[in-house]
Structure 1
Amino acid sequence: MQKMLIVAALGTLALSSCSVFGTRSAAVSGQLKGFSANQNLGLAVVGFNNGQYTNDSTQVQVIDKFLTGGYTLTLPRDVPYGTYRVIVFRDANNDGRYTAGEPVLSRDNGKVLVYSQRDNALFAGSTVGWNIYDTRTRQVQTTLLNNYDLEAVAAGQ
């Protein structure tokens, strides 16, 4: 009986580190550079496919008029497998969400977040779950998802 309880406890612990789909939870972090405070800024994890940003209501978002410095976002586990980006946007319609057409105030940092169903599915070196793929160096970060820095788009761009 005691052995069964130990096995059950270990099984529960193992499952708690996975999502419904079997991937580990993850967070992405970085620095914010060049953004002015008090602009009704938000951070959003948005789909990025064929050069277009897409969003649905389940994706993690932070709205903060005084968004400056650094950030950490917990990444969702209930989104389709694919490529994503973190963006800084101005919440022009004040609905608390990124809506297509709202101003994206962060420039392309050359990195994409990859939510992968299996190892090497989208990029060589990617693993199951969340990864960062640097399109310039073709390097993949698989465990510590940091240095996803966001810089403001220069005025006039």
Structure 2
Amino acid sequence: MNRVMLATGLSALLLSACSVVGTRSAAVSGQLRGFSADQNLRLALVGYNNGQYTADGSQAQVIDKFLTGGYTLTLPRDVPYGTYRVIVFRDANNDDRYNAGDTVLSRYSGKLLVYAARDNAVFNGTKYGWNIYDGNTGQIQTTLLNNYDLQSAN
């Protein structure tokens, strides 16, 4: 029963991974690969834009290591425009935030989340709001922010 409820909740969050036209709210989703289930895994959005370092692990998130191997992370509206990454970290002190003492467990995939103030800002092809820029292919996702897979650094 709990797995059905978890699957239903995860499905609803995955459907919300679309950028909503006319707003800047979104969620990003993907698969977790190579992480062991016995770690205290959390997600954080990190970036350095306009002289401000952002490391926010308090956004709503679902990490499902057992049923689907995936995650969904709500993206904030109150960060500076620019580029960001999603990281997986071990929350050593259980405060749901990425702190200096927390260990980053994921490696950089070449993908960036772009929070654009207007169309074609930062990279050509981005739209106002949240986008995914794939540095490996140059492709940009502007509506469904999925396939932002996270790989273990080990």
Instruction: Verify same fold: TM over 0.5.
Output: yes
Stretches of 4+ aligned residues off by more than 6 angstroms: none
Report the residue type matching 2:105 in the other structure: L
- Using the TM superposition, give the Cα deviation of residue 24 of structure 1 relative to its aligned residue in structure 2, in angstroms: 3.7
Question: After the TM superposition, which residues 4-83 of structure 1 pair with which residues of structure 2 at under 5 Å, given as runs?
Answer: 23-48=23-48, 54-56=54-56, 60=59, 62=61, 67=65, 69-83=69-83
Report the residue type matching 2:86 in the other structure: V
Q: How many residues align?
A: 130
Gaps of 5+ in 1: 1-16
Aligned residues with identical type, % of pairs: 69
What's the secondary structure of 2:71's corresponding residue?
A: strand
1:103 lines up with 2:116 in the alignment: no
TM-score (norm 2): 0.74
Gaps of 5+ in 2: 1-19
In the other structure, the counterpart of 2:88 is 88
Structure index of larger Rg: 1
| Cα distance change of structure 1 residues 56 and 73 upon mapping to structure 2, 3 Å threshold | closer
| Cα distance change of structure 1 residues 152 and 61 upon mapping to structure 2, 3 Å threshold | farther
TM-score (norm 1): 0.73
Deviations 1:14-47 (A, max 9, x none): xxx67xxx63421111000110012111111222
| Cα distance change of structure 1 residues 83 and 100 upon mapping to structure 2, 3 Å threshold | farther
Mean Cα deviation higher: 98-107 or 124-133: 98-107
Q: In structure 2, what is the Cα distance between the partners aligned to 1:23 and 1:73? A: 17
What is the root-mean-square deviation of aligned Cα atoms in Å? 2.3
